[in-house]
Amino acid sequence: MAAEGIEGGQRIRRRRVFYLPGYDPFHPRRYRELYRKEGAEQARLCGYEIALRPSPKDDRYGWQVTASIEGAVCESWIEVLVWSDIVKASMSDSIAATYAQLLRTAWIYLSTGALWRLTRLRKGPTIAALYPVLFLLLQLLLALALAAGAGMVLGSLLHRLAGLLAAPLVLWLVLRWFRAKDNRVFAWYLMHDYAWSAQHYGAYPRALEARLAAFCARIRAALEEADPADEVLVVGHSSGAYLGVSVLADLLRECPARPGRELSFLSLGQVVPMVSYLPKAQRLRADLQFLASSQDLTWIDVSAPGDGCSFALCDPVSVSVPVPEGRRWPLVLSAAFTRTLSPARWQALRWRWFRLHFQYLCAFDQLPGRVDDYDYFRITAGPLSLAARLGARQPSRSRKEALLNRYQDLAP
């Protein structure tokens, strides 16, 4: 493809990318392999070249990308900001503890009134939040029925005491089996996810605050390098989107971006209201309001109505807090799955909700081929900055901006 729209002042030769994943307990190598596989497919479909190699051996996890796109060569170093250890620590192995989390999380969202307001905002992610609750309750009912049946049979065949002793064992074995098979339905995983987000009524746990400070320091170091990259790009996906908001707000309060050093933020499939609509999320709400009026970065928010796990096309600032004076960001755009995926591909994926939530990081097989298309690999490895590539786009006409949040305070 010709280097349409690329001017000398916009050309990116070196880029640093910091990827902030969502609530994910897996090793960050999965994101490298996903990038390798899907990047190669997108390059094949669009006719450009992209190659990966390992990053230098140090204490950070990432990879380097060399790409020849739109008539230019660009080098990108992509680093995953790891918090999977915090996620793992929050995921209880105890069946009883998981059901206790279920009750507590349901109580938090119901008692604060957040659930009803989230439903009015977007039904899809609210249904996704109710899904693990209902699924785990259904599993419990089935396990209780099987345990009761086993107890009655053993009680009649052997002894009443045998039935009484067998019933709890059967109950535990059935629930353990359901949990072992959760990689197909993700009910237990999602329950841990929502419980973690709600556990402190929207406030960040101490361990997470410490990790966000470390992330902030890593990004600051990239901006302050003697020979800095042309662009420092932060990508926040799912829960990582609101963590990215807080990291960048902290960074820019302490150290505004230097002239000539481009700082960009790409939020993908965000679930900001799941936290910002809780009473103790003052920190996040203040960060949203601060970042919305910042002149030191470009913030593009991309989602798609086909992603039932995100608050698609909900402006994360407008729906959470009163719009600040001088508001600039985010620019809310749609990835438009029904247009950017072929009909056959869309039909194959449309009911795979969890997979669609990761589509932003994957190849699209029906991109029109314009410079300003949403293409994750052009954005992270191509010769245009985020502002140059997407900043001139008009915001989605389908975006939602209604402020339905009961809690709008910005200080504890």
Give the residue among 167, 27, 155, 179 at the shortest CA–CA distance from 94.
179
What tokens does 392 get? 């001139």
Residues 388-401 as b/e (b if ≥16 CB within 10 A, e otherwise) read bbbeeeebbeebbe
Bridge partners, residue 67, by sequence? 50, 74
Q: Are residues 56 and 152 in the same domain?
A: no
d(CA 39, CA 29): 15
What tokens does 147 get? 């345990």
Higher-pLDDT residue of 236, 158: 236
The residue among 173, 198, 223 that closes a domain is 198
Strands 72-80 and 61-69: antiparallel
Do residues 324 and 403 touch, judged by C-beta distance below 8 A?
Answer: no
pLDDT at residue 297 in the model: 93
**Main-chain dihedrals φ then ψ at residue 244, nearest 5 degrees:** -60, -40
Q: Are residues 156 and 271 in the same domain?
A: no
Q: Are residues 188 and 283 in the same domain?
A: no
For the chain, give the mean pLDDT.
88
DSSP code string of 143-175: HHHHHHHHHHHHHHHT-HHHHHHHHHHHHHHHH
Q: Are residues 226 and 322 in the same domain?
A: yes
Q: Are residues 145 and 293 in the same domain?
A: no
Tell whether 1 is covered by a domain.
no
Residues 68-91 as b/e (b if ≥16 CB within 10 A, e otherwise) read bbbeeebebbbbbbbbbebbeebb
Do residues 282 and 315 touch, judged by C-beta distance below 8 A?
Answer: no
Q: What is the CATH number of the domain that holds 305?
A: 3.40.50
Which residues 6+ apart lie within 8 Å of 328 measured at CB? 292, 293, 294, 295
Tell whether 407 is covered by a domain.
no
d(CA 407, CA 92): 30
What tokens does 130 get? 């109710």
pLDDT at residue 1 in the model: 33
Which residue is it, tokens 């926040």?
A: 236
Q: What are the distances in angstroms from CA 22 to CA 180, 292, 398?
A: 22, 21, 25
Q: Are residues 235 and 376 in the same domain?
A: yes
The residue among 167, 198, 229 that closes a domain is 198
Q: Which of 32-46, 144-158, 312-326 has the lowest mean pLDDT?
A: 144-158
Share of the chain above pLDDT 70, in %: 92
Tell whether 265 is covered by a domain.
yes
Sign for the CA dihedral angle at 203, 18, 330, 289 comes to positive
Kindly report, residue by residue over 325-370, the tens digit of the pLDDT.
Answer: 889 999 999 999 999 999 999 999 988 888 899 999 999 998 877 7
Tell whether 398 is covered by a domain.
no
Q: Are residues 205 and 280 in the same domain?
A: yes
Look up residue 54 and give its DSSP letter.
E
pLDDT at residue 154 in the model: 67
Q: Indicate the pLDDT class of residue 6, thresholds 50, 70 and 90.
A: very low
pLDDT at residue 245 in the model: 98
Q: Are residues 312 and 351 in the same domain?
A: yes
Kindly report, residue by residue over 252-286, the tens digit of the pLDDT.
Answer: 998 776 656 789 999 999 999 999 999 999 999 99
How many other CB atoms are there within 10 angstroms of residue 205's CB atom? 14
Angle at the Cα of 96 from the Cα atoms of 93 and 100, rounded to 5 degrees: 105
Q: Are residues 265 and 369 in the same domain?
A: yes
End-to-end CA distance of the chain: 52
Bridge partners, residue 400, by sequence? 314
Do residues 276 and 288 touch, judged by C-beta distance below 8 A?
Answer: yes
Do residues 367 and 340 touch, judged by C-beta distance below 8 A?
Answer: yes
d(CA 226, CA 231): 14
Tell whether 411 is covered by a domain.
no
Tell whether 403 is covered by a domain.
no
E strands along 57-124, which residues?
61-69, 72-80
SS3 51: strand
Q: Are residues 210 and 296 in the same domain?
A: yes
E strands along 245-312, which residues?
262-268, 298-303
| 223 pLDDT higher than 60 | yes
Higher-pLDDT residue of 171, 81: 81
How many other CB atoms are there within 10 angstroms of residue 233's CB atom? 24
Look up residue 316 and give its DSSP letter.
T
Give the residue among 114, 137, 127 at the shortest CA–CA distance from 198.
114
Q: Are residues 350 and 275 in the same domain?
A: yes
Tell whether 168 is covered by a domain.
yes
Q: How many domains does the chain have?
A: 2
> What are the residue ranges of helices labelled H in 313-390?
337-340, 343-349, 353-356, 376-381, 386-390
Domain residues for 159? 90-198
The residue among 172, 198, 224 that closes a domain is 198
Q: Are residues 371 and 267 in the same domain?
A: yes
Tell whether 408 is covered by a domain.
no
Q: Which of 325-339, 365-379, 386-400 has the lowest mean pLDDT?
A: 365-379
